[in-house]
Amino acid sequence: MPTPAPSAGREALGGRPHRDVRRLLASIHDVSPRSHSAVDALADRLQGHLGGPKFAMLVIPDHWGEAPIAGNAAFHTQLRRWADLGIEMFLHGWCHRDETPATGRLAQIKGQHMTAGEGEFLSLSQAEAARRMREGKALLEDILGKPVAGFIAPAWLYGPGALAALGDVGFALAEDHMTVWAPGQAGTDRRVLSRGPVVTWASRNPGRIRSSLGFAALARPTLPLLLRDLRVAVHPGDVTVPALLASIDATLARFARTHRPSRYAALLA
């Protein structure tokens, strides 16, 4: 496993005050009983680069309706073990599967081109989005015995209903492809905490593999010079493609040289 690279501490960037901390925020998506072994492998990999469990996990309560965490005592124990290590736990939708017909051309384009049928919260009504969020939050917090860190929609896709529901339910944090924010209470504006693209990888077909490898190769030398906060997200499918694992290793090693591995909650400080 790679040797942890030194963190950046309080280096300045682009004229920012020396007191600003440059952070590296990493996450493992799609955590569920069906991905347990792959998540274990990714967690070991991330810890090797980050110097410990300084990353987040995004948990799906019932992945595609085929892997419920409710009633799975062994998986409950594993979730608590990860959380007790200090890994942040986010709710990641309910089933991760988009079962609601898209309304509007933009939603149709996002659903077709940004995910393979997994934009669960893209077309939900506010009431249905809030129901799934509340039930998932209650389930996960009951298992963990502590609050979840926040909510991140499957495929980072939110429709108007989901965005409104975030304030209703009261999550501390949320993120999409370009932004991390604090949703606030219902009826209040969200507070943007960080801006910049997520570096992630896709394994579902050769074209997606090539494009994600290309973006990561461009991101490694450029984003550390431009952004205070860097975000990296990995998925269980990444472990099936050696080229993706090599790219993940190279990206984490490069980013950790200049940015301090951190938890999302640090953005709220």
Domain borders along the chain are 23-268
Cα gap 94→85, rounded to integer Å: 24
Strands 191-195 and 179-182: antiparallel
Q: pLDDT tier at 11 (50, 70, 90 boundaries)?
A: very low
Tell me phi and psi for residue 204, to 5 degrees. Answer: -75, -15
How does strand 229-234 pair with strand 23-31? Answer: parallel
Considering the chain, what percentage of its residues have pLDDT values greater than 70? 84
**pLDDT at position 48 over 50:** yes
Give, for 80, the enclosing helix (H) or strand (E): helix 73-85
Statement: residue 160 has pLDDT above 60: yes
pLDDT score at 14 = 36
pLDDT for 4 beyond 90? no
pLDDT value of position 15: 35
Asked whether the predicted pLDDT for residue 65 surpasses 60, the reply is: yes
Decide if 267 contacts 17 (C-beta within 8 A). no
23-268 to CATH, choices 3.40.50.720, 3.40.50.1260, 3.20.20.370, 3.30.1540.10: 3.20.20.370
pLDDT of residue 107: 42
Select from 196, 206, 199, 171 the least CA-distant residue to 185: 171
Q: What are the φ/ψ torsions at residue 22 (nearest 5 degrees)?
A: -90, 125
The pTM (predicted TM-score) of the whole model is: 0.87
The torsion angles phi and psi of 87, rounded to 5 degrees, stand at -70, 130
106 compared with 181, residue with greater pLDDT: 181
Is it the case that residue 173 has pLDDT exceeding 50?
A: yes
Asked if the model's pLDDT at residue 110 lies above 90, the reply is: no
Residue 187 DSSP label:
T
Structure tokens at 157: 């896709």
Q: How confident is the model at residue 55 (pLDDT cuts 50, 70, 90)?
A: very high
Query: What is the residue-averaged pLDDT of the chain?
Result: 88
Interval 20-34 mean pLDDT: 95
Supply the pLDDT for residue 188.
Answer: 64
Instruction: Determine the Cα–Cα distance for residues 18 and 25; give it in Å rounded to an integer.
Output: 20
In this predicted structure, the answer to whether residue 69 has a pLDDT above a threshold of 80 is yes
Give me the helices (H) in 146-262, please: 160-169, 206-226, 242-258
